[in-house]
Structures are given as C-alpha cells and as structure tokens.
C-alpha cells in the first residue's frame, strides 16, 4: 500500500490559538495574611499537581517577592518583560486570606506572551478542617476549576500519516474508542474590566478516534479532517468532556441514559454566571424635605423617593454612569391652606476614571465628571408660597471604596461632589435677593 503524503501548507494558523497555547507553567508568589501558614501548603500543592500531571510541565523560575497576584494584575508590561527569558507559557499565582467566616483562597492564571490575566477563580468561607479532611481538597478543586477556563482540553503532540499522539491520558477521562473533536481558537473576548477570558470562537478541523489511552498520553486515528493536512502538531482537542445534564428524557437507542463509558468523569450541569460589564441598581428611600422662601418655611419627614442608576465599564480605568431620582411629598401650607404637593426629579450623566491601589478588589478612588440637573416643582397657589426651582451644571467629584474585611464581603466608602457654575432658575418669581447659588454633596 502506498503511503499517504500530507501537505503541511494546508495547516490552519491562528495568532490567537498560538497565544493561548500552554505547555508548561511557572508558579509564583503565593501570599496570605497569616505569615505563610496557608500560602506555603497552597503553593506546594499547586507545584506538586503540575509535576505529577503528564499533560503539563512545571518550570522553576526566579520568583521576586514583588510578583504577587495584585502586582501581576496591575503590571502586564513588566510581567512580559520579566518572563520573556523564562521559557514558560503561563504563570499561576495565588493568595489566601483568613477571615472570621473561614479561609478564602484565590487563584490567577496569566499568559506570559501578553502578560494579561487569563483566568481567575476563588473559593470562600472554607473551614480549616476541610484542609485536612479526606476526600475533598479545596486547593485541588480551585486549581482544576481555574484550569477548566482554558478553552481546550489538550493538544496533538505529533502526527504521522493518519495517526496522532495526544497529551491527554486516562487521568483526563480518555478511553479507547472515544471520538474527539479537533479545533482551533480563532478569537477570544476578554472582560473589559478584569481582562480574563469570557468567551471564545473556534473552528472545527476534524475528528479523531482514540486507539489506545495510556496513563501519560493517548494515541488516536484521524477519521475526518477539514482538508488533508489541516490537523497538525499543536492542534487543540476541544469538547472531550461532555456535560451530563442529568436529564432522564435523554435516552440512547437501548432506552438507557446516555453516560460516559469511562464512568468516572461525569459532571453535573450548573448554570454559569455571565460576565459583568456594568451594573444596574434601584433604591427606594424615605427622607426629609424642607422648603423655604423668605420668612416662609415648611417641611415634612415623610419624603419617599426612588433612584435608578447604572454603570457601563468601558475598561479597567474608564466607566460611564447614569442616574435619575424621583420623589414626591406633601408639605403644610405656611399660610394655613391645604397641603402643598412637591415633586422632585434629578438626572445625571458622568464619566469616571479609576485609580486602584492594587487589584480589582482592592481600594479604589474614582474621579467623576459630567452634567447634572435637579428640579423641584410645587403646586401653584396665589399668592405663591414657594417657587419651582431648577439647578443644573457641571458635576465633579470623587468616590472612594475600600474593603473592610479580608474576604471583600463588606465595603466602606465615601463621596463628595460639587456643581461648577450652577444655573438656577425659579418661577413664578425669585425667592431671594441674590442670584448666587452653590451645591455641595457628601
């Protein structure tokens, strides 16, 4: 039989696919708030995991203490410069914080080619007894959860004719006769604020049938490919682990539930939270309202109002804010007539720039500027008791937020704003003798 010759020029190439190709890891800078009590075993477990897993290679790298997770997230250019000579494809860093509710652990994965955060996961409120309990291992669960964010399961190590070698093994749930899909990553979408990957776009290159699954790698035969030679060394295995939705209506031809023949790597389906690109908020409150006009004064302690606002996070530094507040109240007539009705409305649209002391969950100061207007409308009466008033102008100020506890569950903050050159209008008349006005908000 004549050997089939494969033309290599049919191989599909993608810069994004090459960017996220990970063969080896470096482990750096695990930190905690307990003088290494938790960081040391956490880091040791991660290193040991990579050493024992045949799919990955652990490379020892020089580890300056400053390269902790917060520094890595904030300085991608320095990360690229530092890691350029190390030969690692990705680095992983972690931290542990002890709080009143338990231990909180965090893992961050960075690509060395662009220095950006690639994946980030956390587990909170872990009882210290779980660290030594048999069966469950919070460190392992968090690490595997982080690695699952890599948008492929394995890679092809070599190809000869229609036979390929994979870096997947029995430990990855691979079994003889399994059908695997080969794909290539064409596009990735990052979170605009935190940079981790939120979605990806793939192209399918073909399918393989596993001929032999071993303890450290597997062998397969190409059964279909997009073009001759399109599946080559470095191509990605995608979707090797199907999700079990535990749906009793999904039956096979024999009337049995479809399951993984390997039987040991099934996953229960759970909804995945969508990535956040902003927020929408609504508040209902009750306050006090005071009205004055010359010697006339009236107030009420029951002033219901509702606030609706939103933010759009353009990237880690810039954001856009919008907000409106509506309220209505009744105040007594200072001349003894029926109660007067007052309606208030305010609107604002601002842009913000964030200054951060560390990572995305540390202290943040946001400088804001934009346009704001406030209007208070009162019932008509003769003679006029109070005036309908409108303020508008350029609103500038700052908002500061800082975590109170180590788990970032409680945040303290403060804000101050000024209205520059406010424009004040009143009707049906003017309530005072001066046209000057100022607005300060805390």
Looking at per-residue pLDDT, the higher value among 412 and 291 belongs to: 412
Read off the pTM.
Answer: 0.56
The pLDDT of 339-362, averaged and rounded, is: 82
Residue 164 has pLDDT above 60, yes or no: yes
Residue 217 to residues 22, 167, 168, 213, 438: CA-CA distances in angstroms? 16, 5, 5, 7, 73
Q: What are 41-53's pLDDT values in tens digits?
A: 999 999 999 998 8
Q: What percent of the chain has pLDDT over 90?
A: 31
Residue 272 has pLDDT above 50, yes or no: no
Tokens of 142: 């968090």
The pLDDT of 277-286, averaged and rounded, is: 88
Q: What are 297-342's pLDDT values in tens digits?
A: 888 888 899 999 999 988 778 899 999 999 998 888 888 778 888 8
Strands 24-32 and 57-58 come out as parallel
Q: What are 76-93's pLDDT values in tens digits?
A: 887 788 777 788 999 898
**C-alpha to C-alpha distance for 220 and 362, rounded to whole angstroms:** 48
**In this structure, are residues 198 and 188 in contact, taking their beta carbons and an 8 Å threshold?**
no
DSSP assignment of 143-156 equals HHHHHTTSS-SEEE
Q: What are 415-424's pLDDT values in tens digits?
A: 999 988 888 8
Q: How confident is the model at residue 228 (pLDDT cuts 50, 70, 90)?
A: confident
**Burial state string for 19-54 with b = 16 or more CB within 10 A and e = fewer than 16:** bbbbeebbbbbbbbeeeeebbeebbebbbebbeebe
With 0-12 / 13-18 / 19 or more C-beta atoms within 10 angstroms meaning exposed / middle / buried, residue 133 is: exposed
């Amino acid at each position: 039989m004549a050997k089939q010759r494969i033309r290599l020029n049919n191989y599909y190439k993608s810069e994004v696919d090459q960017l996220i190709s990970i063969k080896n890891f470096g482990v750096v800078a695990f930190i905690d708030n307990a003088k290494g009590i938790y960081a040391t075993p956490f880091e040791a477990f991660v290193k040991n995991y990579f050493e024992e897993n045949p799919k990955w290679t652990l490379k020892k790298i020089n580890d300056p203490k400053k390269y902790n997770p917060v520094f890595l997230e904030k300085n991608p250019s320095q990360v690229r410069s530092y890691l350029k000579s190390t030969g690692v494809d990705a680095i992983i860093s972690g931290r542990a914080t002890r709080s009143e509710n338990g231990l909180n652990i965090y893992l961050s994965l960075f690509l060395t080619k662009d220095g950006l955060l690639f994946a980030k996961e956390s587990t909170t409120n872990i009882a210290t007894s779980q660290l030594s309990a048999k069966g469950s291992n919070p460190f392992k669960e968090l690490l595997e959860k982080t690695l699952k964010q890599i948008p492929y399961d394995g890679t092809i190590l070599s190809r000869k004719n229609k036979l390929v070698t994979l870096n997947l093994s029995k430990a990855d749930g691979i079994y003889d006769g399994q059908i695997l899909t080969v794909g290539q990553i064409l596009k990735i979408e990052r979170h605009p604020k935190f940079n981790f990957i939120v979605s990806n776009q793939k192209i399918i290159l073909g399918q393989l049938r596993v001929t032999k699954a071993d303890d450290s790698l597997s062998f397969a035969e190409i059964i279909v490919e997009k073009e001759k030679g399109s599946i080559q060394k470095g191509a990605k295995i995608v979707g090797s682990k199907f999700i079990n939705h535990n749906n009793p209506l999904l039956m096979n031809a024999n009337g049995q539930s479809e399951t993984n023949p390997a039987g040991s790597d099934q996953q229960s389906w759970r909804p995945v939270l969508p990535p956040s690109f902003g927020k929408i908020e609504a508040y209902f409150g009750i306050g006090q309202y005071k009205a004055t006009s010359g010697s006339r004064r009236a107030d009420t302690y029951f002033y219901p109002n509702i606030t609706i606002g939103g933010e759009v996070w353009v990237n880690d530094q810039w954001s856009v804010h919008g907000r409106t507040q509506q309220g209505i109240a009744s105040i007594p007539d200072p001349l003894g007539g029926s109660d007067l009705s007052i309606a208030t409305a305010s609107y604002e649209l601002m842009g913000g720039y964030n200054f951060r002391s560390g990572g995305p969950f540390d202290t943040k100061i946001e400088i804001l500027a934009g346009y704001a207007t406030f209007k208070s409308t009162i019932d008509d009466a003769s003679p006029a008791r109070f005036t309908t008033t409108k303020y508008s102008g350029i609103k500038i100020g700052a908002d500061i937020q800082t975590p109170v506890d180590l788990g970032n569950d409680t945040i303290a903050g403060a804000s101050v704003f000024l209205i520059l050159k406010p424009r004040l209008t009143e009707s049906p008349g003017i309530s005072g003798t001066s046209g000057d006005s100022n607005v300060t908000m805390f």
